[in-house]
Chains A and B, each alone.
Chain A
Amino acid sequence: MEIMREITVTVNVNGIPVRAAVSPQESLLDFLRYRAGATDVKCGCNKGDCGTCTVILEDRAVKSCLVLAAQADNRRVWTVRGLEKDPLMQALQESFATHGAVQCGFCTPGMLLTAKNFLEHNPKPDRAEIKEAIAGNLCRCTGYKKIVDAIAAVAASRTGDRA
């Protein structure tokens, strides 16, 4: 058996530094699920196709199965559980629940993070832009309509606040 060189990385997960010796190939997804206990980050394909593993790395929504843990060394990662007090995340969570945008819920954490990151950069999207933004996050249950409704409602209430 070949001996694999391990590297030590420290990833700040939801505000808490998590340090571990990992193989250079270890994905951020595995790091989060197995070392940081962030099981709210899901694995639907491990290949970049489904979006269930979406997290926010610094200020970008990324598919954590496509990122190496080493690439997140000394950087900050946010998952849904770490954003409990974030007002935009709270608004999205409430909106998803009340619009019926959650069926099995397996796509939901990734979908919420994509939506939050998107609305931060595009506060006034139309439906087509929302659909484009979440096109990398598959959902097999809802047919997407209520997810788009939920995101659009949050966008509308926020821009309403500003107007």
Chain B
Amino acid sequence: MELNVIGKGLPKVDAWAKVKGKTVYADDFSLPGMLYAKVLRSKYPAARILSIDTSRAKQLPGVHAVLTAKDVPNNNLRAKFGQSTDVGAQFEGLYRVLAEEKVRFLGEPVALVAAESLQIAEEALDLIEVTYEPLPGVFDPVEALKPGAYPVGENESNVVSRFKIRKGDIDAGFAAADVIVENTYHVPFVDHAYLEPESGVAWLDEDGVINIRVSTQVIEHFRTVAEVLGLPQNRVRVIGTWLGGGFGGKEDITVESFLALLVWKTGRPVKLTYTREESLLAHSKRHPFLMKYKTGATKDGRIIALEAELIADAGAYTYLTPWVLLYATVNAAGPYDIPNVKVDSVAVLTNNPFTSANRGFGAIQPNVAYESQVDELARVLGMDPLTIRQKNCLRQGASLATGFTFDRYVALPEVAEKAWQALGPAKESQDKRIRIGRGLAIGMMSYGRLTFLHDSSRSYVKLELDGSAVIRCGVPDLGGGQAQALCQIVAEELGIPIEKIKIYISDTALTPLAGTTTATRQLYMSGNATLKAAREIKERLLTKASTMLNVRKAYLKIENEKIVSLVEPGNFVSLKDVIAQCSSEGIELFCEAQFNAPFTDIPASELITGQTHPDFTFGAYAVEVAVDLETGVVEVQKVVACYDVGKALNVLNVEGQLEGGAIYCLGYALMEELVVDQGRLKTPSFSEYLIPTAADVPDVETILVESGSGLGPYGAKGVGEPACNSIAPAILNAIRDAVGVRITSLPATPEKIVFAMQKKQ
């Protein structure tokens, strides 16, 4: 099929307003009479609340509401994370709006204030008197697992969930192995660090509907907010703004319930924006994992056994932990065809910040471990990094350890080779203090949500009489080109220029619900829904044009706002005329379509088998680093990302995902760590929590493989999250290559590298 718009690196529809400073982000919006909200947060990571006295705060002039847990109609509920299906308690967690009785983490919301100004709201916070009885708490997940450990929540056990995978005979596998590598890896808490902190404005409209205009990846939280307030779901409307970044951190509820409660209480519009410090302190983090790995291979480099034990720190509340742990479990053995596999994973509550979704969603952490293991095996066996991977990686027809079989193209050997070769000829450092090293890592990650969530998306496409088009789709746009992709699909299918398309997104009242912008699902899900709607309209247009031109439908094509005969290009009718004809005959020029992902059953036990995800994206990173032997400072000189993206709908956007994903996790590899000591955050702002700047990073080279084998429109696969897989282990492998030390805990700071080098000597 010839494509006119798909594949082009067109500027995004939202880019123009953004460069002109006209995009109205969540905090940029205000209403007359608006109040400002602040959140009082727990000073202790673990404590009993003995009393809360809000009377002085309430008396402060300008204060309109001070709320605590007892003012919340439903303060404790089972969190739905945007899914409409019931997936059972083992996959859902407690969502507590405000702390009651016991606080579980430092920064936990305890009370809310709404006042005439931010200054008054801040003053009011100081006047709320909370008496705490500090409790010991537990901060190490290994300790938290022990019998008799301090109970973080209301249950005796701190275990959130456990999963396992079993394939073959693990003991026999290790018995047959010629070499075995064993290591324990640790990855830390990290923050999403989107530049726009959590924010929203809410108001009550003339019909008594609570409107919440908020920076969110999940507008479907309107249902949760309704439940918190005890209102019918159609009384809460969420309008999602263009996000100033999300990366999973705006997947869970942030300010929505707080705003709704304060609006309900005061009847006034309310704004709540977190400070950067609040954002770092109190919203979700990426799960730290402790990962014990044992990998065995034969002399000729065949990996025959892998055993992994994963312990994830869930922090103080469950949130998306069970799903993250499930992803980690499924990914634990990596994209390798290994006959004997044993994986055991557990997630455990602690009195640390709560952890939930973060770009990569549990696939990233084990990727650090299994790709380090494969590299070590290659060293012991004297194999090169590419050969060992090509020898063992999954191919079409092979299965994951869960038993899920890949019936479509698996690009791993290809992407690994292309990335590795793109590094070019190796060169030595001229400087004696500097050692150059190279590393390779491959990975897989799903796109689309867990199949037992029964995911679906809806989109509405309509042609106007003048030949312009409207798309309505409840997709939140995080900046990844989510809206742009849908516009390009409609432009392609209906043969109209992209400038003639207007898209409305992310509004629970006015756009069909498209599901969450998470799980790298929007191109796949809403792309397919939009494609289905556009093709339905196209079919009607072609049918009408066929009679108008007296040409069989099969011999017609639609392009450049015309419907043209394939055999006789001079024979055509303008799109506008076909639209006019359809309109006068009452033929519908709109369509709302739904796309459903494959459905599977909810896992019945801890043992995970069969299909868990619709499909996977495969990619590889090759990097070159220069390590300073004296200081341990690592300079990443080259980064090559090679991914099978199926089909790049917009080349610029796909490259942008890979470049951005690479640097996001370059930070993970080398610099980022939220230091949490006994539940207290030691990196409270961007002065301490450092993310990569332009001066820290090389230009990422991207190589796109377009196999057309994806489940998305035109054979596309999702890349948003897979993009940040594999770079961290590639960097660790390159450091190992440069200076001979294996760093097993992220971030690989200069101190750790120097220490490891000294220890080796």
B11–A97 contact, CB under 8 A?
yes
Which label, helix, strand, loop or mixed, suits the secondary structure of the A interface?
loop
Q: Is the CB–CB distance between B479 and A105 below 8 Å? A: yes
What are the residues of chain A within 8 A of B25 when measuring CB–CB? 39, 42, 106
CB atoms of A104 and B656 under 8 A apart: no
Asked if A135 and B480 sit within 8 Å, CB to CB, the answer is: no
C-alpha spacing A124/B21, complex, angstroms? 26
Determine if A141 is an interface residue (Cβ-Cβ < 8 Å). Answer: yes
Within 8 Å CB of B245, what residues of A?
103-104, 106, 140-141
Q: Are A100 and B655 in contact (CB under 8 A)?
A: yes
B197 CB contacts on chain A under 8 angstroms: 43-44
What residues on A are CB-neighbors of B192 within 8 Å? 140
Interface stretch of the complex, out of A5-13, A67-75, A78-86, A153-161: A78-86
The contact size tier of chain A is: 35 or more
Interface assignment of A98: CB less than 8 Å from any CB of chain B: yes
- Contacting pair A104 B276 (CB below 8 A): no
Q: Are B20 and A47 in contact (CB under 8 A)?
A: no
Tell me the smallest distance from the CB of B468 to a CB of chain A, in Å.
21
Give bound CA distance, A134 to B687, whole Å.
17
Within 8 A of A (CB), among B235-288: 242-247, 275-276
B195 within 8 A of A: yes
Interface residue B9 (Cβ < 8 Å from any Cβ of A): yes
Q: How far is the CB of B501 from chain A (nearest CB, A)?
A: 17
A62 on the interface (CB 8 Å rule)?
A: no
Question: What residue in chain A is nearest B194 (Cβ atoms)?
Answer: A140
Answer yes or no: B89 CB below 8 A from chain A CBs: no
Q: Is A76 an interface residue (CB 8 A)?
A: no
Check A138 against B693 for contact (C-beta < 8 Å).
Answer: yes
For chain B, the count of residues having a C-beta within 8 Å of the partner chain is 56
Minimum CB distance partner of B276 in chain A = A45
| Residues in A whose Cβ lies below 8 Å from that of B195 | 42, 44, 50, 52, 104, 106-107, 138-140
Give the complex CA separation of A59 and B185 in angstroms. 50
> Is A108's CB under 8 angstroms from B24's CB?
no
* A56 interface residue (CB < 8 Å to B): no
Which chain B residues numbered 177 to 192 have a C-beta less than 8 Å away from chain A?
A: 192
Which residues from B are CB-within-8-Å of A47? Answer: 276, 685-687
Shortest CB–CB separation between residue A106 and chain B, in angstroms?
Answer: 3
Check: A35 CB closer than 8 A to any chain B CB: no
> CB < 8 Å: which of B123, B196, B247 contacts A44?
B196
A29 to B622, CA, bound (A): 42
A77 adjacent to chain B (CB < 8 Å): no
Are A145 and B686 also in contact (CB < 8 A) when A50-B195, A81-B20, A140-B195 are? no
With CB as the reference atom, state the residue of chain A lying closest to B247: A140
B653 within 8 Å of A (CB atoms):
yes
Interface centre among B15, B193, B245, B685 (most CB of A within 10 A): B15
Cα(A144)–Cα(B194), bound, Å: 14
Report the separation of the CA atoms of residues A130 and B693 in the bound assembly, to the nearest whole angstrom: 12
Are A144 and B685 in touch, CB under 8 angstroms? no
A87 at the interface (CB under 8 A from B): no
Instruction: Verify A105–B244 contact, CB threshold 8 A.
Output: yes
CA distance A69 to B656 in the complex (A): 37
Known A102-B15, A103-B479, A141-B245; judge A40-B685 contact (CB<8 A).
Answer: no
- Name B661-697 residues within 8 Å CB distance of A: 661-664, 685-687, 691, 693-697
Chain B residues, Cβ within 8 Å of A80: 19-21
In the complex the two chains form, what is the Cα distance from A109 to B19 in whole Å?
Answer: 6
Q: For the complex, is A120 an interface residue (Cβ under 8 Å from B)?
A: no
Instruction: Tell whether A1 is near chain B: CB-to-CB under 8 Å.
Output: yes
The residue from B193, B242, B697 contacting A105, defined by CB atoms under 8 A apart: B242
Judge whether B206 is part of the interface by a CB distance below 8 angstroms.
no
Q: Say whether B694 contacts A148, CB under 8 Å.
A: yes
Pairwise interchain contact A42-B196, C-beta atoms closer than 8 A: yes
Q: Does A99 contact B (CB under 8 A)?
A: yes
A98 touches B11 (CB 8 A): yes
Asked if B699 contacts A145 (CB within 8 A), the reply is yes
Q: Does B700 contact A (CB under 8 A)?
A: yes
Is B652's beta carbon under 8 Å from chain A?
yes
Check B652–A99 contact: CB distance below 8 A: yes
Asked if B276 and A141 make an inter-chain contact with CB atoms under 8 angstroms apart, the answer reads: no
Q: Name the CB-closest residue of B to A146.
A: B656
- Given A42-B25, A49-B685, A140-B691 contact (CB < 8 Å): yes
Kindly identify, within residues 612 to 659 of chain B, every residue whose CB is under 8 Å from any CB belonging to chain A: 652-653, 655-656, 659
Q: Within the complex, which residue of B653, B659, B685 is in contact with A45, where a contact is CB–CB below 8 Å?
A: B685
Q: Please tell me if the beta carbons of B18 and A142 are within 8 angstroms of each other in the complex.
A: no
**A93 with B20, Cβ < 8 A, contacts A105-B244, A143-B662, A148-B694 known:** yes
Indicate whether B220 reaches chain A with its CB closer than 8 angstroms: no
User: Does B664 lie within 8 Å of A131, measured CB to CB?
Assistant: no
Residues of B within 8 A of A108 (CB): 18-19, 21
Interface string of B8-44 (1 = CB under 8 A from A): 0101101110111111110110000000000000000
Shortest Cβ distance from A82 into B: residue? B21
Q: List residues of chain B with CB within 8 A of the CB of A135.
A: 693-696
Considering the complex of A and B, which 8 residue pairs feature the smallest CB-CB distances, nearest first? Answer: A40-B21, A104-B479, A105-B18, A106-B244, A100-B652, A49-B686, A143-B663, A103-B479
Given contacts A105-B23, A141-B479, A143-B659, 9 further A-B contacts (CB under 8 A): A45-B685, A105-B19, A106-B479, A127-B699, A140-B193, A140-B660, A141-B656, A143-B663, A147-B694
A-B contact pairs, 30 of them (CB 8 A): A40-B22, A44-B196, A44-B197, A44-B686, A47-B276, A47-B686, A94-B19, A97-B11, A100-B652, A100-B656, A105-B15, A106-B479, A107-B195, A108-B19, A130-B694, A131-B694, A135-B693, A135-B694, A137-B694, A139-B195, A140-B247, A141-B245, A141-B479, A142-B656, A142-B659, A143-B697, A143-B700, A145-B699, A146-B655, A148-B699
Using CB atoms and an 8 Å cutoff, list the residues of chain B in contact with chain A: 9, 11-12, 14-16, 18-25, 27-28, 123, 192-197, 242-247, 275-276, 478-481, 652-653, 655-656, 659-664, 685-687, 691, 693-697, 699-700
